[in-house]
A = this chain, B = another copy of it.
């Protein structure tokens, strides 16, 4: 951030009075521009013993597999956002969803919130951001081709719960950049 989005003047990085962290503060109008973590919302679309994954048509991780997920939009709930991403990326409709995992990713300041929800039908298809959409049973999951660590972690929680016979709600954290774990 170089300029004030309110007035267009230069900003400086400094600790405002009464604060403890450096913020981008406008040198002209005094506006404090806070930067905060972003929420990514995603779904685990279920059909009997299989779940729906999407193969990414966009960077990052073009060609890798993921759960439908993306940045939460203003004025939606996390559950509605997860259903919206599923509609956009897999042209699929979900039934009633249940919170499944909250995963903090500190090095990129994101909170990933996953809901599990039944697919209402099998009329799914790749959206513009997907190359392919496919149902996978646990033994078919392409673990080495999963796009994001949060998705892999969420899938591990999911299949462990399925094995145990009891679906829980999981809190996890990823605190190191890829390759540094």
Contacts and interface: CB of A to CB of B under 8 A. Distances in A.
Interface stretch (A60-68, A75-83, A144-152, A156-164): A75-83
A75 B109 contact: yes
B38 A106 contact: no
Interface in A1-31: 1-8, 10-11, 18, 21, 24
Contacts of A10: 8
A99 interface: yes
Nearest to A172: B77
Contacts of A38: 36
A142 to B, nearest CB: 27
20 contacts: A1-B6, A2-B6, A2-B7, A3-B3, A3-B6, A5-B24, A34-B71, A37-B72, A37-B73, A72-B111, A75-B106, A75-B107, A75-B109, A77-B104, A77-B106, A77-B173, A78-B104, A78-B171, A99-B102, A169-B169
